[in-house]
Amino acid sequence: MGRPRQFDESSLLDAATELFWSQGFDDTSVEDVSRATGVGNGSIYGAYGNKRGLFLAAFGRYCEGRGRFVRDTVVAAPGSARAAVRTLFEAVVDDCTSHPDRRGCLMINSIAQLGSRIPEVLTIGARTTEAMEDGVAERLRPAARAAGTPVEEETVAAHSAAVVVVAQGLIQLSRLGIARDRLLEIADVSALALPETWAENGV
């Protein structure tokens, strides 16, 4: 049985996430996290083993939060399926443009930078993407059924995956400095890709 943490783990992982997100894995050290949190190096190494272990703990926690964000946003959105997807896209745009440095998504950034070096990043990223798609499908499935014509689960899954791809693409475009209004125009067009009959009900 491991020893209980002698520090606030949530606060430490919040600080570590910010550092890894802003500076990148290679340019962030355990010492950086120690200075930012006041938690000693020894306690951090004791809890996570090394910088990689610390990063994966922070990264996994971040990704779980992103999965919840997508699901909670789209499931709670009122109106039709198209309206719910548009609400999700707007929330994504607002979230990523709220950072002055337009730093993008830690998951996407890390997959690109670390996927070939830290295999767990790909595993966590794939699991998170699947969770996002499942969350969107949870919102689209009732709308598809209410449209009155049989819809294969594969069709719902394909549309859900497309929604997640667009959401991630909006984040990448934000990193390029694309204006918020332009991102929302892209979101509007992308939401129209859902079947028209899914837009006619408020399920």
Q: Which position has the token pair 């964000």?
A: 69
pLDDT digits (tens, 9 = 90+) for 18-61: 999 999 999 999 999 999 999 999 999 999 999 999 999 999 99
The pLDDT assigned to 102 comes to 84
pLDDT digits (tens, 9 = 90+) for 104-149: 999 999 999 999 999 999 999 999 999 999 999 999 998 888 877 6
Distance of alpha carbon 76 from alpha carbon 78, whole angstroms: 6
Residue 179 burial (CB count, 10 A): 11
Structural domain spans, the chain:
58-196
Distance of alpha carbon 131 from alpha carbon 63, whole angstroms: 10
The pLDDT assigned to 4 comes to 54
What is the total residue count of the chain?
203
Architecture of domain 58-196: Orthogonal Bundle (1.10)
- Structure-token pair, residue 170: 């909006």
| pTM over cut 0.95 | no
